[in-house]
A = this chain, B = another copy of it.
Amino acid sequence: MASARLLVRGPGDGRGRNIVPFQRVSVCGIHVTGVPFDELVRSAELLINALNLRRNYMDISHQSFPTGLAYYLDHHEAPPRPTFKQSSVDYGGAVLKFDSAKADQYIKLSTCSSEELCNAIPLREHESRSEHHMHMTGTIMTIKAGTHRESCDSQEDLDRFLKASDAWTCYVPPDSKYLYRWERGVVQIYRNEEDMIARHPLNYRNVTFVKYVEDLSRLSDMIADGPLKSFCYRRLSYLSSKFKMHVLLNELHELALQKAVPHRDFYNIKKVDTHIHAASSMNQKHLLRFIKRTLRSCADEVVAVHRGIPKTLRSVFEEMNLDAYDLNVDLLDVHADRNTFHRFDKFNAKYNPVGESRLREVFLKTDNYMNGTYFARIIKASKIITSHFLINGQREVIADLEENKYTYVEPRISIYCKSMSEWSKLASWALRNDVHSSHVRWLVQVPRLYDIYRINNLLNNFQEFLNNLFDPLFQVSVNPQSNIELHKFLTHVIGFDSVDDESKPENPILSENMRSPDEWNDEENPPYAYYLYYMYANMVTLNQLRKERGLNTFVLRPHCGEAGPPSHLSAAFLLAENISHGLILRKVPALQYAYYLAQIYIAMSPLSNNSLFLRYHRNPLPEYFERGLKVTLSTDDPLQFHYTKEPLMEEYSVATQAWKLSTCDMCELARHSVIMSGFPDEMKQHWLGPNYKREGPEGNDITRTNIPDLRLAYRHETLLDELDNLFKGVT
């Protein structure tokens, strides 16, 4: 048996791929995977099977799936080579010439008018005019916001610019008059009453619960399969070693290429904080100052009603024996400390300032007696960046972002599903307080707290939970005029998150004959995978409806694999476009490898993990990153974990120092965060380059991402090699 050989090749390796010149490590020989052929075949079949499953789930839900991998699954061979990309790289030296056309385009884009811009960027395939307009509004605002700082000199310019933007304007389709009905926990949509009576729903695709349980159990068998485990572990170890060799051989070249990019560096590439909770998006000192200031200036405002008696802010504090001057960060007690490690309960309590849920209610909720005014004030964009603003030394969260124009956020805001009115209250809060910012897109997080509500008799069964979550969404999607505020707010919502302590005990195994949501009426909490399915299945229907109506669609981006059983990660592998955390993947090589092959994005928050579940130096992020998993850095809860006024930069700083990341690594992490994010395609094109969706170096524009093509070529070629191995095995 011929052994596999390791080769290092320079440019022009004769394999016919587009030549991005760098030192390539490749293996030649017969059994290049290092396992016997029959084991390879078996492993490949299992993995391809899993990938096919995911592809189906992603397709019907309008969530993304890599085009290259889809081609492999269809044709069992690599996609045809893209045409050769004009490379102006002067190989071997540090001096590069640049594509001047590209640079021109960039400059033009950032200085042209809104109209020019709207025309300059073509409609995407299948994109409706309304979608285009909606997206473009965002893009133009951002671009203008970006250019402003560089070009306009006077305060008047700024004011004029800010007044001109009406953020919430959007396309409003007419009433479709569709009807819908819940059937075993999933909504069915009907064109009209006759269809409903005849049980002829619209021809929307979906996955039944039974099929889901079946798929889940196939995955569950797969991850327990011994030979597959070994195979995946070997491949992951190989990927680690290969990356280390790549870096040893190419890092100086990578750095030289980065240096040669005019103007661009890690500080001025776009970064998205892909996982952050709105209620903890300010740092502790910021919240403290806000509370103190509010207590000084608004002490006599009525902020709550307790047993029919109105309470002013002053009286709330008096009852707690607190005054504004006394308050300090220690007393606020919202920071995670060594006592929160493996104590999610203690950590959750940290959301209550001074340990008082009353203060959380007043300051950190959207739905309270004062309609969340204070919370909005903390997080909303302060559009007047004046000297007054500085002299007070105060600024609010979104304003902080606009000061740092390269940082974007995707905050989570809660829908608890305790009542049907939550959505309209949330939307009306958002619009009334105008919490709009071109730097922000919202995700709605749904805490898995059915059991608590059931115990307190707020709900009778799990179906009511689902009703509260989805009824308002279907109603407003059928007829936007029925709740125009919610309709507008939803244009800035990009998806759903599912949150709670994953380490809570549960029966992780679903069965086909489980009770349906309307029958789920006792105090037991449904398992993680059950929650996720019903969020997914209804989102699938909702997305098809909204797509048909020219509205934006949503994605599922749950917290997953922070703790608890690996089955959570199997469920998300089927249902979710991407996940937050994914720590548990380190224990499940087969799933980790499948996540790699499917290029599923993972928003990781190592500082958060360090306080809750896993010490920093044991965090798998650097290992995942080496192996080519699509990880990003996110903050999770700056209120609980961070110290500076730049929490995302702090997160990058710690990671870079602890794991000795290169600037190329940092830029790659930042690019991941942009791609993973739910910001509109046009903004991503502006941030990453017009072809960012193409795989490999063709999708890169170093003048915007600061990542050398060769790094993406390495990643892409490595992935193709892995897929080649698998698909050669099965054909």
Q: A332-370 vs B: 1/0 string, CB under 8 Å? A: 010101100100000000000000000000000000000
The answer on a CB contact under 8 Å between A261 and B646 is: no
Q: Is the CB of A663 within 8 A of B390?
A: no
Q: How would residues 236 to 277 of chain A score, 1 for a CB under 8 Å from any chain B CB and 0 otherwise? A: 000000000000000000010011111111111000000000
Residues A531-561 near B (CB distance < 8 A): none
Contact with B along A643-666 (1 / 0, CB 8 A): 111100110111011101011000
Q: Are A325 and B653 in contact (CB under 8 A)?
A: no
Question: In the bound complex, how far is the Cα of B608 from the Cα of A5, in angstroms?
Answer: 41
Provide 27 A-B residue pairs closer than 8 Å at the C-beta atoms, listed in order of the A residue: A149-B393, A259-B331, A262-B326, A263-B326, A263-B328, A264-B328, A265-B288, A266-B330, A268-B328, A328-B706, A329-B663, A337-B660, A337-B663, A338-B660, A385-B390, A385-B391, A386-B387, A387-B387, A617-B617, A617-B658, A642-B653, A644-B646, A644-B649, A645-B645, A646-B646, A654-B654, A658-B658
Q: With contacts A261-B330, A643-B656, A644-B644 known, what are 18 further pairs, Cβ within 8 A? A: A155-B391, A258-B328, A258-B330, A262-B325, A263-B327, A264-B328, A265-B330, A268-B328, A330-B706, A337-B660, A337-B663, A338-B660, A390-B390, A643-B650, A644-B646, A644-B650, A645-B646, A650-B650
CB pair A329–B403 under 8 Å, yes or no, is no
Contacts A387-B155, A643-B649; is A662 near B262 (CB within 8 Å)? Answer: no
Which of A335, A641, A650, A656 counts the most chain B CB atoms within 10 A? A650
Chain A interface residues (CB < 8 Å from chain B):
149, 155, 255, 258-268, 285, 288, 325-331, 333, 335, 337-338, 341, 385-387, 389-391, 393, 403, 607, 610-611, 616-617, 641-646, 649-650, 652-654, 656-658, 660, 662-663, 706
A393-B149, A610-B657 known; A263 vs B325 contact (CB < 8 Å): yes
Protomer copies: 2
On whether the beta carbons of A329 and B267 are closer than 8 Å, the reply is yes
For the complex, what is the distance from the CA of A285 to the CA of B652, rounded to whole Å? Answer: 15
Complex Cα spacing A716 to B136, Å = 65
Q: Which of B333, B386, B617, B657 contacts A259 (CB 8 A)?
A: B333
Overall SS of chain A's interface: helix
* Closest residue of B by beta carbon distance from A667: B330
A643 to B647: give the CA distance in the assembly, Å.
Answer: 11
Contacts of A328 in B (CB 8 A): 258-259, 261-265, 268, 706
Q: CA–CA, A654 to B657, complex, Å?
A: 9
Residues of chain B contacted by A330 (CB below 8 angstroms)? 255, 258-259, 261, 265-266, 663, 706
Determine the chain B residues whose CB is within 8 A of the CB of A288 once the complex forms: 265
Which of chain B's residues have a CB closer than 8 A to the CB of A391?
155, 385
Q: Which partner residue on chain B sits nearest A642 by CB separation?
A: B653
Select which of B265, B329, B338, B649 is within 8 A of A265 by beta carbon: B329
Nearest chain B residue, comparing its CB with the CB of A387: B387
Contacts of A338 in B (CB 8 A): 660, 662
Measured CA separation A722–B328 after assembly (Å) = 36
Smallest CB-CB A-B distances: 3 pairs: A387-B387, A265-B329, A265-B328
Q: List the B side residues contacting A285 at CB < 8 Å.
A: 265, 267
Chain B, residue nearest A645 (CB): B646
Shortest A108–chain B CB gap in Å is 15
